[in-house]
Structure 1
Amino acid sequence: MSDYSAPIGAPIWFDLMSSEPDKAAEFYGDIFGWEAEEPDAEFGGYRNFVKNGKRIAGCGPVMDPNGPSDVWSVYLHTADPAATVTAVEKAGGSMMVPPMDVGEMGTMMVATDPAGAVIGWWKPGTHPGFLEWGTHGTPYWFECQSKDYAKSVAFYTEVLGARIEEVGTGGDPDAVGPDHYGQVFLGESSYSGIMDAAKLFPAEVPSFWQVYVTVDDVAATVKHVEALGGGVMMAGEETPYGTLAAVTDPFGAVFCLGHPPAGWEG
């Protein structure tokens, strides 16, 4: 697909909290062809990245020197932030940032799910979120890497009204490990997934949401990342869901790359 309009509960925005926002803007501009808008002093130096004339992602400086830095965050579409807060808390999540208006652009909120993953929500005003998916430099997929798969499945099913379809396990509720995976369906389409990551990362790594960006050539992009001072966590790997890679920017932020398999129709 190319044109995209996020249904309620689907990813609508993603952004980077960077220790070096100016240098990060140069890096991602080189990698994905993103153009950076001027930082907005009214909103703490936050800037939008633009691709194909449309805002595609955001970047802001680290505001809390004692907090996390160089991390990508994912936001889901909400039409009613207050109702989402109620649903999050009822399902066992907790609020980190209660709903707050960002000028006329929209309303944001940030929560922690019961498995410990940080996840945001965005109610668009004048800022609609990203409007393109599946072309070079635009989203490919979004994924919750969960250290407690059962809690994550229950939470997102309840809060989003989603249907979780198991892949790779035959729907066996007792199946565990990296092949335990659920696609998050909203209506007839899936926009994100939940990975059982309990055995994939060290105990000290919490659950987190992961961003995949579409590229025309994964191998070439991995080399480009390395040439610009980024790191490679997983070089291009062929999977039934396309060629995937995991890399870092020069400051440590992790993001993934994706290219669809042959014959794929978005």
Structure 2
Amino acid sequence: MNNVINWFEIYTSDFDRAKKFYTDVFKLELTDLPVSSDRHSQMKYATFPVGVNGIAGALVKMDEVKPGAGGTLVYFDSAEINDELSRVEAAGGRILRPKLNIGDFGFIALVEDSEGNLIGLHSMA
């Protein structure tokens, strides 16, 4: 494992407004990422350029998570998300979003830890 943390997300209530803010402030282009919607929620993603250390991130609009205090989400690298998910509840956490395919960027899942913090899992498989 090269980086323990490999992905971040900044949640939005107005996706287009947030995308314009980050584009304007940091003078960079965000790339819209099509994601499959399911019965759980409608999602929008716009990715930031990948950094030299391989860490990347995105602006996100997702029904399950709202912006605000604590709105930035840290993702932990995983070889296969279901391995970690199988241990979440026994460790005192809760699975908020099961494994979800996000296309060329792999898979994600959302977990509430034992303290109520929201964390993410990311894998390519």
Same fold (TM over 0.5): yes
Q: What is the letter of the counterpart of residue 69 of structure 1?
A: P
* Cα RMSD for the two superposed structures: 2.7
Deviations 1:5-60 (A, max 9, x none): 744xx111011220122121222223333311135364633111226698832112
Who is 1:102 aligned against? 102
The gaps in structure 1 that reach 5 residues or longer are 126-266
With CA pairs under 8 Å and 6+ residues apart, which has the higher RCO, 1 or 2? 2
1:28-177 correspondence runs (5 A): 28-38=22-32, 40=34, 42=36, 44-50=43-49, 56-63=56-63, 68-70=66-68, 71-124=71-124
TM-superposed deviation, 1:85: 1.2
Q: What is the letter of the counterpart of residue 6 of structure 2?
A: I
Instruction: Supply the distance in 2 between the matched residues of 1:52 and 1:89 (Cα, whole angstroms).
Output: 33
Instruction: Supply the distance in 2 between the matched residues of 1:17 and 1:112 (Cα, whole angstroms).
Output: 16
Instruction: Supply the distance in 2 between the matched residues of 1:25 and 1:51 (Cα, whole angstroms).
Output: 16
Aligned length, in residue pairs: 117
Deviations 1:91-134 (A, max 9, x none): 21111111222234312111111111010100025xxxxxxxxx
The two structures have a TM-score, normalised by structure 2, of 0.74
Who is 2:40 aligned against? none
Instruction: Supply the distance in 1 between the matched residues of 2:122 and 2:93 (Cα, whole angstroms).
Output: 17
Q: Percent identity?
A: 23
Name which one, 1 or 2, has greater alpha-carbon Rg: 1
Instruction: Supply the distance in 2 between the matched residues of 1:51 and 1:35 (Cα, whole angstroms).
Output: 11
Q: What is the letter of the counterpart of residue 116 of structure 1?
A: G
Change (3 A) 1:48 1:77: same
Question: Is this contact kept in 1: 2:7–2:55, CA < 8 A?
Answer: no
Question: Is this contact kept in 2: 1:49–1:55, CA < 8 A?
Answer: no
Instruction: Supply the distance in 1 between the matched residues of 2:22 and 2:5 (Cα, whole angstroms).
Output: 20
Question: Is this contact kept in 1: 2:45–2:61, CA < 8 A?
Answer: yes
Question: Is this contact kept in 2: 1:34–1:51, CA < 8 A?
Answer: no
Instruction: Supply the distance in 2 between the matched residues of 1:123 and 1:73 (Cα, whole angstroms).
Output: 15
Change (3 A) 1:90 1:60: same
Instruction: Supply the distance in 2 between the matched residues of 1:25 and 1:36 (Cα, whole angstroms).
Output: 7
